[in-house]
Structure 1
Amino acid sequence: MDKMTKPQIEITDPLSFLKEFTAARIAIGSTGSSIPTKQLLEFKLAHAHARDAVYSVMDTEVLEDALAQFHRPVLQLHSRAENRAQYLQRPDLGRKPNEESLNRLADQITGDDIVIIIADGLSAIALNENVLTLLQLLIPKLLDANLKLGPLCLVQQGRVAIGDDIAHELHAKLSLVLIGERPGLSAADSIGAYLTYQPKPGLKDNSRNCISNIRPGGLDLSLAADKIFYLVQEAFRMKLSGIGLKDNEGLLERE
């Protein structure tokens, strides 16, 4: 008589109630000595989405047409990284505009208060899906505050620091870089916003302020626009950015 194979029992993690508060992979349970098949397949799918995001392409033509609603010049720029493979292998090349872009910037010097740089970063999907809505919420706030807005720059194969060079070339007082963030296994569509007061080539990360995880399933786009606007106002008031500029919005003042 053949022995009956004992069925494997799926064990539910006692911390599973925490899943309603986060999209992170926690409390996924177990089956025998492994994780349940459903959770394993979800992990592999998320990993595939993350890889797709890294190699996604910013839809510059569609974005340029959509940005026309803001009645500002739109500049198509490119870093010194010629392609995606070089961009991933040589981060330094993604931090500098190429010669053609520098020539294009030289024709647009206006000395504005703010220049907005939209860079593909490590997830062009994030820009394709979310950046227009974010700008529709943010730009009216900037204009209502009488801040002079420069050209809108679309940068391919760009990293955060490229905003320093672009804004410096345009003689802008502040750079705002909206960039696709490194995708994780719970989100591949996040935008990071980096602002720098008095931008110039060679600045370090401590000269910038960052607002991260801007996406419908993370930091709400409306809340992100409010936060960016607050930090921009504080940067102009205090004439600085980076570690010297704190997010004190909503904190009680000491008597």
Structure 2
Amino acid sequence: MTSLPTPRGLTDLRALTPARVALGRTGVSLTTDALLDFTLAHARARDAVHAAFDVDSLAEELDTLGLSPLRVASRAVGRRDYLARPDLGRQLDPVARAVLEQQTSTADLAVVVGDGLSPVAVQAQAADVVRRLLPRLAAAGISVGPAVIATGARVALGDEIGALLGARIVLVLIGERPGMSAPASLGAYVTFGPRPGRTDADRNCVSNIHAAGISADEAAFKIAWLVREALARGSSGVALKDESGDGSVAPRLSAP
């Protein structure tokens, strides 16, 4: 007779996720430990948003990967401006725009690394993701232009950058809004045919890249698949479903 599996309890669930489940209570309130943990997580999330963006160290890391990074800024002046005016984070500063207008590139892909809402996430993971991504792109015959490091960046800033560089596709690696259990989560956004006016429906996103989420290697695999397929199909976003984990889909090894 086949025995039934032993039921799993809340303790097992808590071991599988950093999410706050089964916190317990004292009267009508949280326990002291749960409240202190929440307060600490909230402080870490706030610190991640306001952390300094170390452009120099990031540029050095990307330079060692052969990407010769350019440095630009959005029209958001300072962190307060960035948080209060998301629209300014989607537009290049005039000086930065002039710099990019002088660049000439015939590369398929433009890589943009922006601080976003968690500079901590960018410092921790962006260079590692790029390092693991480049060999996959090279194997697929996809050329990569100079990287662009953007300060005060929102995701859509990559559309203007990609258009100015003449890239067929843009990849934006950016710090995601900190969660209470993931203050250092990186997001990757792939957009075919970048140009101002693109919307989120035109992008594919690989989210939750952090120590307790998607690993840098897994993210690089998914990003490479999305870039390759977007170039092959001539579209991204809602027109491109992420089937990178589906073994029945034959990979395309080169762009047309």
**Fold shared by both chains (TM-score > 0.5):** yes
- 2:66 counterpart of 1:99: no
Shift of 1:115: 0.5
- Counterpart position of 1:213: 208
Shift of 1:253: 4.5
Whether the 8 Å CA contact 1:16–1:26 is kept in 2: the answer is: no
Q: SS at 1:176's partner residue?
A: strand
In the alignment, the residues of structure 2 paired with residue 127 and residue 139 of structure 1 have an alpha-carbon distance, to the nearest angstrom, of: 17
Q: Please report the TM-score for the alignment, with normalisation by the length of structure 1.
A: 0.91
Match for residue 251 of structure 1 among 224, 236, 246:
246
User: CA-atom RMSD, angstroms?
Assistant: 1.3
Q: SS at 2:52's partner residue?
A: coil
In the alignment, the residues of structure 1 paired with residue 132 and residue 107 of structure 2 have an alpha-carbon distance, to the nearest angstrom, of: 20
Match for residue 69 of structure 1 among 64, 69, 72:
64
Shift of 1:47: 0.1
Match for residue 109 of structure 2 among 109, 114, 118:
114
Shift of 1:252: 5.9
- 2:144 counterpart of 1:149: yes
In the alignment, the residues of structure 2 paired with residue 127 and residue 153 of structure 1 have an alpha-carbon distance, to the nearest angstrom, of: 13
- 2:9 counterpart of 1:17: no
In the alignment, the residues of structure 2 paired with residue 78 and residue 250 of structure 1 have an alpha-carbon distance, to the nearest angstrom, of: 36
- Counterpart position of 2:27: 32
Q: SS at 2:147's partner residue?
A: strand
Bigger-Rg structure (1/2)? 1
In the alignment, the residues of structure 2 paired with residue 16 and residue 218 of structure 1 have an alpha-carbon distance, to the nearest angstrom, of: 20
- CA offset digits 1:33-81 (Å, max 9, x no partner): 2111111100000000000011112110111111111222211100000
5+ long unaligned stretches in structure 1: 1-13
- Counterpart position of 1:201: 196
- CA offset digits 1:141-177 (Å, max 9, x no partner): 1122221111111100000000000000000000000
Whether the 8 Å CA contact 1:57–1:120 is kept in 2: the answer is: no
Q: SS at 1:211's partner residue?
A: strand
In the alignment, the residues of structure 1 paired with residue 11 and residue 91 of structure 2 have an alpha-carbon distance, to the nearest angstrom, of: 46
- Counterpart position of 2:4: none
Whether the 8 Å CA contact 1:81–1:87 is kept in 2: the answer is: yes
Aligned residue-pair number: 241
In the alignment, the residues of structure 2 paired with residue 73 and residue 105 of structure 1 have an alpha-carbon distance, to the nearest angstrom, of: 13
In the alignment, the residues of structure 2 paired with residue 138 and residue 167 of structure 1 have an alpha-carbon distance, to the nearest angstrom, of: 18
Shift of 1:94: 0.1
- 2:55 counterpart of 1:60: yes
Q: Please report the TM-score for the alignment, with normalisation by the length of structure 2.
A: 0.91
Whether the 8 Å CA contact 1:95–1:159 is kept in 2: the answer is: yes
> Percent of counterpart pairs with the same letter?
42
Question: Quick one: which amino acid aligns to residue 68 of structure 1?
Answer: D
Runs of 4+ in 1 over 2 A off after TM superposition: 14-17, 249-254
Question: Quick one: which amino acid aligns to residue 238 of structure 1?
Answer: R
5+ long unaligned stretches in structure 2: 1-8, 250-256
In the alignment, the residues of structure 1 paired with residue 73 and residue 94 of structure 2 have an alpha-carbon distance, to the nearest angstrom, of: 9
- 2:154 counterpart of 1:129: no
In the alignment, the residues of structure 2 paired with residue 189 and residue 39 of structure 1 have an alpha-carbon distance, to the nearest angstrom, of: 21
- CA offset digits 1:4-60 (Å, max 9, x no partner): xxxxxxxxxx63331112111111111222111111100000000000011112110
- Counterpart position of 1:79: 74
Question: Quick one: which amino acid aligns to residue 37 of structure 1?
Answer: T
Shift of 1:111: 2.7
- 2:192 counterpart of 1:186: no
Match for residue 236 of structure 1 among 218, 231, 250:
231
- Counterpart position of 1:176: 171
